[in-house]
Chains A and B, each alone.
Chain A
Amino acid sequence: MERVLFGDNQFFGVNHMSEEKARAQSMKFQDVEAIIHVLDAAYDEGIRVFMCTTHERISDICDHVRNNRGRYENFQFYPCMPYAYKYANAVTDYGMIGALKRFLPEDGAIGAILKGGMSVAKKDLQGLAELLIDAEMKMFDGLRTPIIFLQNVVTDLLLGLGFHEAFRIFAEHVKNRYKAEPAFITMNLPRLLDVLDALAIENPIVCANINKIGFRMCGGIAAYEKAIATRRFRPIAMSVFASGAIPAKEALEYVCKQTNIRSIVFGASSRGNIRQTKQLIDQLTRSS
């Protein structure tokens, strides 16, 4: 696993502190060229991983990387699926079953459609889930995706419902079909770890908010610190700056001194910020 991962919230108008800032960013990154420019800066600063949602605009980035393999020799994607709004909007327009059918593959695979139809009819969750995962992964064809994440909205919904079988289905399919490591994003770290343990998903990769002020760390900052220190899993810290509420150095010191944290994901829009953050993480990692 890479130590420093580059996130994508800033490209798609997600900011937990300010709607205005979010809108300004989504204007700035309206063109895919602007996104690629920032990704190039991150890559040149030594960041090898782009951890991104399966937003439809990411497929343009995928095309660009495929078409310029020489430039991005060591570039890896860590896809995070699904991009939930895509499904939520489709459910509004086409109803629940109609939406599912829209996201199942069409081209060249009549068998797949039939399988989809059968899955819907037989309540065969596994068949259906596998088709949906494949549909999300299509844009990454031929690219390196060594780790594949389940997004927090879905992880936490399944966690709350007690729909634990779905985690196993996701993990198995990602391993078998993509030879990748399954990973989970959550806002409820201690609770999710209990469930993954019970499912015997060993030493799981789990990405969660880990920040000094306890922002969106459900179960409490103390429970998070204890889990990180004592439980067998591979933590990835996100929201380490709590959307800018914590000064950079202080924020990264807090994360880096917890030596069990494997990786840190952050987003930035300028080369200066990327360089500063990457250097700080490297420096604090060496000294801890």
Chain B
Amino acid sequence: MIRVALIGLGKMGISHHAIINTHPDAELVAVCDTTAYVLDVLNKYTGVRCYTDYLALLDEEKPDAVLIATPSRLHGKMVKAALDRNMHVFCEKPFGLDPVEGRALAGIAEQKRLVTQVGYHYRFVASFQEMKRLLAAGVLGQIHHIRSEVYGSVVLRPQSATWRTRKEEGGGCLYDYASHAVDLVNYLVGAPDAVGGTALNKLFSRDVEDEVYSTFYYNNGMTAQVAANWSDDSYRKITAKVTVWGTRGRITGDRQELQIYLSDNGDLLHGLNKGWTIRYSTELAKEVWFYLRGEEYSAQIDHFLKCVKAGCGENISPFASAVRTDDVLAMMLEDSMSTRAAGRAPAIAKPVPGATEGLLRRIFPRR
């Protein structure tokens, strides 16, 4: 049995709680949150041990693995505390607000051979996994463009009461929504070498952006466009969609299906027709032991626990790859400010070591 502790009982934390609780290889030893009301109700009706101080939880319960689902600003110090105690860590996305700190944490974990994972659950959606498999097999020929979009209806009016709309907590559409779109690009075709034309627009929020648009450039000539908007009322829930264009065709995918169009003679090896092939989630989805809101939420926890059980192993969404996503988010943030400051079409922002980090440090001073 892997002894797991959970820190943070918000929307994601509660769902993780239910999923870990049912896993055959895991024992949820304790939970931690600062909302006494939620803890009291949970303790009264489920008997789970509760803490309000995460350090006390780590020291007293000594779990094998820790799951962190707190506001993003708190990730860094909590991850550090767990790694210092030689515990495996699953952290919610985005990993951190400061790639320098994130890189250091990934380094510590690697040195100690601890399993790390960040909750980019789209990497566990069967259709995106299939898309990655087909791209890696080269079915599209030379890939030249990718479009990654995430839409949803989180903020639809001026006042909103949670940390997700507070800048100092690490909220905003860039970290909350665009991070998924960026991570999907990184997952499918790798991280860009430069970004340009980034717009972070406010619609309803006073403090943070509600929509994000950006163009990514790759040294091999490939480009990508990322769009995220968390104020679109026409979406019932968060919806991600990716289209990849190559010299032999294109693939469009979302959580439900893959639409593949190939010219020439298709790709018999991968069962793809000339013209259209549609693959549905009903055939692609892999069964999970417990279903709550989508197979991917269970699958990512299962993957983490399997890696812990196996004593390391290749992780699909480790700290190292999440830091690359944080890097790109930092590049976008910097690019958006130079665009606004100049009041004209921007020069392409290239990642200059140190420059991004210095800027970030000014925006998010280390606490």
Contacts and interface: CB of A to CB of B under 8 A. Distances in A.
A125 B292 contact: no
Contacts of A218: 287-291
**Most A-side CB within 10 Å, residue of B21, B22, B41, B47:** B22
Interface in A238-288: 242-243, 245
Contacts of B256: 15-19
A165 interface: yes
B292 A156 contact: yes
B22 A160 contact: yes
Contact of A188 (B47, B155, B236, B290): B290
Interface stretch (A58-66, A90-98, A228-236): A90-98
B263 interface: no
A237 B134 CA distance: 35
A162 interface: yes
B17 A123 contact: no
Interface of A: 12-13, 15-19, 85, 88-89, 91-98, 120, 123, 125, 153, 156-157, 159-163, 165-166, 187-188, 191, 213-220, 242-243, 245
Given A17-B257, A157-B292, A89 B161 contact: no
Contacts, number: 115
Contact of B291 (A15, A91, A156, A245): A156
Contact of A160 (B18, B38, B154, B161): B18
A148 B156 CA distance: 32
Interface in B2-39: 11, 14-15, 17-19, 21-22, 35, 37-38
A18 B257 contact: yes
Contacts of B237: 85
B282 A245 contact: yes
B292 A161 contact: no
Nearest to A15: B256
A90 B44 CA distance: 25
A160 B288 contact: no
A215 B45 contact: no
Contacts of B210: none
Contact of B236 (A85, A163, A165, A216): A85
Given A17-B282, A215-B285, 16 more contacts: A12-B236, A17-B280, A17-B281, A91-B11, A96-B37, A97-B37, A98-B161, A125-B41, A153-B293, A160-B19, A160-B292, A163-B45, A165-B45, A213-B283, A215-B282, A218-B290
A169 to B, nearest CB: 10
Contact of A161 (B18, B154, B155, B156): B18
Interface in B287-316: 287-293
Contacts of A17: 256-257, 280-282
Nearest to A209: B291
Interface of B: 11, 14-15, 17-19, 21-22, 35, 37-38, 40-42, 44-48, 153-157, 159-162, 164, 236-237, 239, 241, 254-257, 280-283, 285, 287-293
Contacts of B37: 96-97, 120, 123
B45 A160 contact: no
A110 to B, nearest CB: 23
Given A13-B236, A18-B256, A153-B292, A245 B283 contact: yes
A18 B15 CA distance: 25
The secondary structure that dominates the A interface is helix
Given A17-B256, A156-B291, A161 B42 contact: yes
Nearest to A99: B161
A96 B22 contact: no
B161 A123 contact: no
A98 B159 CA distance: 13
27 contacts: A16-B281, A17-B256, A17-B257, A17-B281, A85-B237, A89-B156, A92-B155, A93-B157, A93-B159, A93-B161, A96-B37, A123-B37, A125-B41, A125-B45, A153-B293, A156-B18, A157-B15, A160-B17, A160-B19, A161-B14, A162-B47, A166-B45, A187-B291, A191-B22, A218-B289, A220-B287, A245-B282
Contacts of A166: 45
Contacts of B281: 16-17
A162 B46 contact: yes
B162 A16 contact: no
A220 B160 CA distance: 41
Given A19-B256, A160-B21, A162-B46, A96 B292 contact: no
B155 to A, nearest CB: 8
B161 A95 contact: yes
A123 B40 contact: yes
A214 B282 CA distance: 9
A161 B46 contact: yes
Contacts of A13: 236
Nearest to A241: B282
A95 B162 contact: yes
A123 B157 contact: no
A157 B288 contact: no
Nearest to A21: B256
Given A161-B18, A218-B291, A19 B45 contact: no
A188 B288 CA distance: 10
B11 A191 contact: no
B282 A19 contact: no
B197 to A, nearest CB: 27
A245 B285 CA distance: 13
Contacts of B161: 92-95, 98
Contacts of A123: 37, 40-41, 44
Contacts of A156: 18, 290-292
Contacts of B160: 92-93
Contacts of B155: 92
The 3 A-B pairs of least Cβ separation, nearest first, read: A160-B18, A187-B291, A245-B282
Contacts of B162: 91-92, 95
